[in-house]
Amino acid sequence: MGEEIRQNYREIRTRIDQAARRTDRDPRSVTLVAVSKTFPAEDVLALAPLAPVVLGENRVQEAAAKIEATSGTPGLSWHLIGHLQANKANRAAELFDFVHSVDSQDLLVRLGRRCTQLGRRLPILLEVNIGDEESKSGCTETELPALAEFATTLGSIEIRGLMAIPPYLEDSEAVRPYFRRLRELRDRLQDRMGLPLPELSMGMSHDFEVAVEEGATFVRVGTAIFGGRSYLR
Ligand SMILES: *Cc1c(COP(=O)(O)O)cnc(C)c1O
């Protein structure tokens, strides 16, 4: 089981590197976030020999238990990629190395306040809802500039870029325009603010190669590494 997970991880890493080279990008500019949500700490530990490894979780509570269970293992860092509820912001600020899913001023304030108390600086991405009306997470494109400006006023928050979860489309090529749109939004925001926003978190198991071709610096891959998820655990 552990060997299979490591094998999957290496294969995904190779495909990322190839996608990066196809578009003349440095493969080292793309970080693979192994999305371990619903999988036990044991599966996370299977990746420890390949450290440094970045894990992605979408629930604060579930992540807390795994972070605790793996705390003796060097080389693991933890990114929050799922929607964050306001009442979990303090805990998130304590637990995570990076938060990809910040989408409101209220969350920025709460994370910032807790990080100031902790004496730490938290790197974050702003999540944008690009073209998926179904999804309730992510700020609108209209809200984005003001939210980004606000983030820069908080000393304990470091805004590093943008994240999006485009609609799921069977044909990964059909997702390309959404990835491109996020990159263009980032480029414009960067120009407007005169601030570097190097990171783009986009692409999942079935479309990460297209995302890398369009400029992703974080791809969030779960199923293709750990296997199918059962939510009935
Ligand atoms: C679960 C999840 C992923 C990974 O999805 P897979 O299709 O399993 O690769 C990526 N991003 C977010 C926000 C997720 O919740």
Question: Does 204 sit in the ligand 1 pocket, CB within 6 Å?
Answer: yes
**Does 233 score more than 70 pLDDT?**
no
- Cα 204 to middle of ligand 1, angstroms: 6
Position 230 scores a pLDDT of 77
Residue 222 pLDDT level (bands cut at 50, 70, 90): very high
pTM: predicted TM-score of the whole model, two decimal places: 0.97
Mean of the pLDDT values across residues 171-197? 97
197 pLDDT above the threshold of 80:
yes
Task: State the closest ligand 1 atom to the C-alpha of 58, by its place in the atom list counted from 1.
Answer: 15
Rg over alpha carbons for the chain, rounded to the nearest Å, is: 17
pLDDT over 50 (residue 173): yes
**Mean pLDDT confidence for 149-157:** 98
Mutate to test the pocket of ligand 1, among 11, 58, 102, 226 (most ligand atoms within 8 A of CB): 58
Among the ranges given (61-65, 131-135, 161-165), the one the predictor scored with the smallest mean pLDDT = 131-135
Atom of ligand 1 nearest to the CA of 81: 13
How far apart are the C-alpha atoms of 97 and 70, rounded to whole Å?
A: 15
Residue having the nearest C-alpha atom to atom 7 of ligand 1: 205
Q: Measure 42 CA to ligand 1 centroid, in angstroms.
A: 19
Average pLDDT for residues 171-175, to the nearest whole number? 97
pLDDT at 35: 98
pLDDT value of residue 232: 52
For residues 192-202, give the mean pLDDT: 96
Does residue 165 have its Cβ closer than 6 Å to ligand 1?
A: yes
pLDDT at 41 over 50: yes
The tokens for 177 are: 């325009």
Residue 132 is predicted with a pLDDT of 66
Residues 93 and 111: beta-carbon distance below 8 Å:
yes
* Residue-level pLDDT at 31: 98
